[in-house]
Amino acid sequence: MAQQIDNIPRRWDPIVKLTHWGIVAAIIGNALVTEEGSGWHIWVGYSLAALLALRLLWGLIGPSEARFSAFPPSPSRALMHISEIRRGEVARHKSHNPLGALMVYAIWAMLGIIIASGIALSGPPPADPSANHAQHEGEAQLAGTIALGEHREVERDDETTEDRAHEIAGEADEGEENILVEVHEVAVNLLYLLIALHLAGVVFETHRSGRETIAAMIPRWNRTRP
C-alpha cells in the first residue's frame, strides 16, 4: 500500500538503485552501442534479463518500499492521484506514487516482451560475444537461397517432394522469425515512448513536490536529505 505520510524520506535501497541504473545502462547499450542481433547485443540482453529478474525477486523479499505491495498497479488510485495534482495537493508516498507505479509495471512488462522475443530469436548467448548472430543467420539464409535457386535451375524438372517439404519448412521458420523481429522492434519503440513519459513524470514530480526524487535514486545522495 502506498503510504501518504508527511516527512517520510524517500530512500531506495542499493538493489533498487543497482537494478535501475544497470537496466538503464543495458538499454542504452543495446539501443546505441551494440550492433542489433550481435553477440554483444545478446549478452547485454541477457544481463538486462538477470537485472530485471533480481528486481522482481526484490519485489517479493526486499525492504517494504521496494515490494510490489507498496506500489500496487491500481488505475483508480492513479485517477485519484491525478485529481490530487489538479487540486494542487502533494501527498507523500513511501514508494512510487500511483501514477508512477503504473509506469513502472508498464516498463517492466515491455522489457519482458523485449527479452522474451530477443531470447526466442537468439537462443542461448554465444560463447564468443563478438560473433554476429544476425549477420551469420542472414548470410546463411542468403547462401541457402542462392543454393536453392541454383538447385532449382539445374533440377527444375525433377523437384522432389522432400525438396518442397524443406522449402515450406524454411518459409514457415522465416515467417515466425519475422514476426518475432517485428514484436521485438515494436516493443523497443514502445519502451522508448514509456521512457520519455517516465523522464517527464520524474521531472514533473520533482518540480511539483519539491522532493529530491532524482537524488533518492542516485547512490549516496540521499543519506542526509529527505
Q: Which residues bind ligand HEM (CB under 6 A)?
A: 10, 16, 19-20, 23-24, 27, 30-31, 36-37, 41-42, 45-46, 48-49, 55, 96, 100, 104, 107-108, 114-115, 118-119, 121-122, 133-134, 137, 181, 184-185, 188, 195, 198-199, 202, 213-214, 217
C-beta of 168 vs 179, nearer to ligand HEM: 179
Give how far Cα 49 sits from Cα of 23, 25, 26, 66, 189, Å: 9, 13, 10, 19, 18
Shortest distance, CB of residue 78 to ligand HEM, whole angstroms?
A: 13
Shortest distance, CB of residue 120 to ligand HEM, whole angstroms?
A: 8
Number of residue whose CB is nearest ligand HEM: 118
C-beta of 59 vs 163, nearer to ligand HEM: 59
CA angle, 56 as apex, 25 and 220 as ends, to 5°? Answer: 55
Cα 105 to Cα 83: distance, rounded to the nearest angstrom: 21
C-beta of 140 vs 146, nearer to ligand HEM: 140
What DSSP element (H or E) covers 225?
none
> Phi-psi region for residue 74, left (φ > 0), alpha (ψ -120 to 50) or beta?
beta
Shortest distance, CB of residue 148 to ligand HEM, whole angstroms?
A: 20
Shortest distance, CB of residue 224 to ligand HEM, whole angstroms?
A: 17
Shortest distance, CB of residue 69 to ligand HEM, whole angstroms?
A: 13
Query: Cell for 165?
Result: 517439404
C-beta of 138 vs 149, nearer to ligand HEM: 138
Within 10 Å of residue 199's Cβ, how many Cβ atoms? Answer: 11
Q: Is the dihedral of CA 205, 207, 209, 212 positive or negative?
A: positive
C-beta of 81 vs 118, nearer to ligand HEM: 118
Q: Which residues contact 114 (CB under 8 A, 6 or more apart)?
A: 45, 184, 187, 188, 191
Shortest distance, CB of residue 99 to ligand HEM, whole angstroms?
A: 9
Please give the biggest Cα pair distance in the chain: 83
C-beta of 148 vs 186, nearer to ligand HEM: 186
Shortest distance, CB of residue 173 to ligand HEM, whole angstroms?
A: 12
Q: Is residue 39 a contact partner of residue 118, using CB atoms and an 8 Å limit? A: no
C-beta of 94 vs 163, nearer to ligand HEM: 94
